[in-house]
Structure 1
Amino acid sequence: MGNQRMILPAHSDGIHLSLAELLHYQKQSVRWLPPARSIWSYLSGHHDSTGKGRGMDFAEVRPYQKGDDVRSIDWRITARTGKPHTKLYTEERECPVMVAVDLSSTMQYGTQLLYKSVQAAHIASLICWLTVAQKDRVGAVVIGGEQVVDCPPTARQQGPLQIVNAIKRVHEQTLETGKNQSRDTFLTAMSQLHRLCPKGSDLIVISDFNQLSDGAEQRLKQLAQHNHLRLLHVFDPIEQGETAYRGRFWLGDHRRSLQVSFGRKSTLASLRHDFERHQQRLTALSNQLRSPVYHVSAGKPLLDQLGGIRG
């Protein structure tokens, strides 16, 4: 069921985690520093630069007024409207970044290239290194089978190093024990994220969201009220019914298993239907939270999904 033509990311075997593969993203972070690029614009499908200058946040555009700095004129809008317009900025405040990364049992699954948990770890590592490169503090909540590990926001390289070590440790423990995560664990993680992050933080939740409960949704709504929240959904291609395998295969977790025939169109259609329903739930939640949701496949290297840049 694997894809032999797809090349694994540097230092990765697709199942286990090593410090080398997570530290690899440190040198990649410079490629995504504003104003050059934005990983979020690439994940949204918009490939133009949306970066801002360090120390200032873009606020709005309004008609030019006497005394405005001519260097702040928005020439594109001025040309389009025929009337001069000025860009307004607000001073940028410190914006700690908090990452919640789900490494639980439903994430430790993959059919083509990487386990979803491995892809989630790669995303978290890139975000951490990118954050400290922009001189912001970064912290994390790492979710395992029956544990939630806190990494309070820390500046400089100490923050990412603490986080990638916690990710590697929790991932190994969850692989070894094989314990299933309960919805209470995901809810606990969202509660700890709420406790750890200062108001005004940039929050990123990386998960397949298969353990999303009503209580966790409520906690996410509370987090979205005072923070900038992003949801990052990691999925495996087979969840979309995408596989070249047409035989029978045993699938299961640590409680039960069943034989599935991938040669049947009804099997693939059922998988696609379930995936679409899950997508619709996440879209509805995203709309309620007024927070964007992004989708990343575990069937392709992360850097290939960010504009094809690899290194």
Structure 2
Amino acid sequence: MTDALPPHADGVHLCVDELLPYRQQTVRWLPPAKSLWSQLLGQHQSKQLGRGMDFAEVRQYQPGDDIRAIDWRVTARTGKPHTKLFTEEREKPTVLYIDLSASMQFGSSLLLKSVQASHIASLLSWLAVDEHDRVGAVIDTGHALFELKPTSRQKGPLQIIAQLVRSQNNMMTDLSAQQSPHSMEQGLQALHRLCPKGCDVILISDFIRYGASLEPLLGRLVRRNRMKFIHIYDPLEIGDTHFRGAEWVSNGKDTRWLNFSALNTRNGIKKAFESHQEKLELVCQSMKIDYRLISSGMPLLKQLAG
């Protein structure tokens, strides 16, 4: 393993000390710096408009002003052209869906997928409040949902971090919680309850539990909000492993021997992942959802810096 674990992390459990430092990282993506999403997003950027604009005031027209912003009523009343001024609309809630279910409790190299998901959730929650937004979350363990209403200032990220630590560490001690998880339907329904029109909704998952039957529910969310998918994957899922030998493996449904010494085994694993990825990308393209892959086999900030 060439990459070192993030500070205070063991890759499996979570602690507050490993998630809090993302508070100091947000300055790298706050205006006028480069947007996090310009680095984070893949090739399927949304064509939806960004934030709206709030009316601020009217002042006398100045050369270079956009003629489309002329206030014709004030212009007619005063006899002199006047322009409307707008400020960028703020306080659009950001709501994170964070998947900590059984399939996310896997990691072949650096971090469990669930731990990496928690790291990026911490970064995004701090970035949201630094941009004067409220932030909330739906944390889904596959058996339990934790709904955290969008909250401003430090309370939002802190309550998300605290629940992530509790939920992840409970998954490590309660093995029954990793058996037969429900689909993502309950999580999407929870997002409907938490998200008024105009939210930024970010799903952080491996999307193993996502299926075509959920597309109508997802579509209703997309019509009201701006959506992003962050697809967490492990290097082994793309056949990237130095292990050579046979191993007894399970996907939660089936159990079998896999011979990782065989190239066709590794290629077969990679093709299965690519098929899953392609289906997700098609969904994102059809619904204009932003999509990005993040590996659990490399520190988060190293991936974002690239």
Instruction: Give the structure 2 partner of residue 187 of structure 1.
Output: 185
Instruction: Give the structure 1 partner of residue 211 of structure 2.
Output: 213
Structure 2 gaps of 5+ residues are 44-50, 55-60, 67-84
Q: Distance in 1 between matches of 2:170 and 2:199?
A: 29
Q: Distance in 2 between matches of 1:129 and 1:195?
A: 23
Letter of the 1:112 partner, please give it.
Answer: S
Instruction: Give the structure 2 partner of residue 36 of structure 1.
Output: 33
Letter of the 1:199 partner, please give it.
Answer: K
Q: Provide, for residues 208-261 of structure 1, a one-character-per-residue CA deviation record: whole Å limited to 9, x for no partner.
A: 000002343221111100110001100001111111111122223566643211
Deviation at 1:89, TM superposition (A): 7.3
User: 1:160 and 2:130 equivalent?
Assistant: no
Residue 123 of structure 1 aligns to a residue in which SS?
Answer: helix
Contact kept? 2:101, 2:181, Cα under 8 Å: no
Residue 295 of structure 1 aligns to a residue in which SS?
Answer: strand
Instruction: Give the structure 2 partner of residue 288 of structure 1.
Output: 286
Contact kept? 1:248, 1:261, Cα under 8 Å: yes
Instruction: Give the structure 2 partner of residue 278 of structure 1.
Output: 276
Q: Distance in 1 between matches of 2:62 and 2:186?
A: 54
Deviation at 1:121, TM superposition (A): 0.2
Q: Provide, for residues 58-96 of structure 1, a one-character-per-residue CA deviation record: whole Å limited to 9, x for no partner.
A: xxxxxxx994339xxxxxxxxxxxxxxxxx977424311
Deviation at 1:42, TM superposition (A): 1.3
User: 1:24 and 2:14 equivalent?
Assistant: no
Deviation at 1:160, TM superposition (A): 0.5
Letter of the 1:69 partner, please give it.
Answer: D
What TM-score do the two structures reach when normalised by structure 2? 0.83
Between stretches 148-157 and 21-30, larger displacement belongs to: 21-30
Residue 190 of structure 1 aligns to a residue in which SS?
Answer: helix
Q: Distance in 2 between matches of 1:155 and 1:168?
A: 20
Q: Distance in 2 between matches of 1:21 and 1:140?
A: 19
Match of 1:111 among 108, 115, 124: 108
The equivalences for 1:1-311 within 5 A come to 3=1, 5-44=2-41, 67-69=63-65, 91-178=88-175, 179-180=177-178, 184-252=182-250, 257-307=255-305
Larger relative contact order (Cα-Cα within 8 Å, sequence gap ≥ 6): 2
What TM-score do the two structures reach when normalised by structure 1? 0.82
Question: Sequence identity of aligned pairs in percent?
Answer: 43
Contact kept? 1:113, 1:299, Cα under 8 Å: yes
Contact kept? 2:16, 2:162, Cα under 8 Å: yes
Aligned length: 274
User: Runs of 4+ in structure 1 displaced over 4 angstroms?
Assistant: 54-57, 253-256
Contact kept? 1:190, 1:219, Cα under 8 Å: yes
Q: Which has the larger radius of gyration?
A: 2
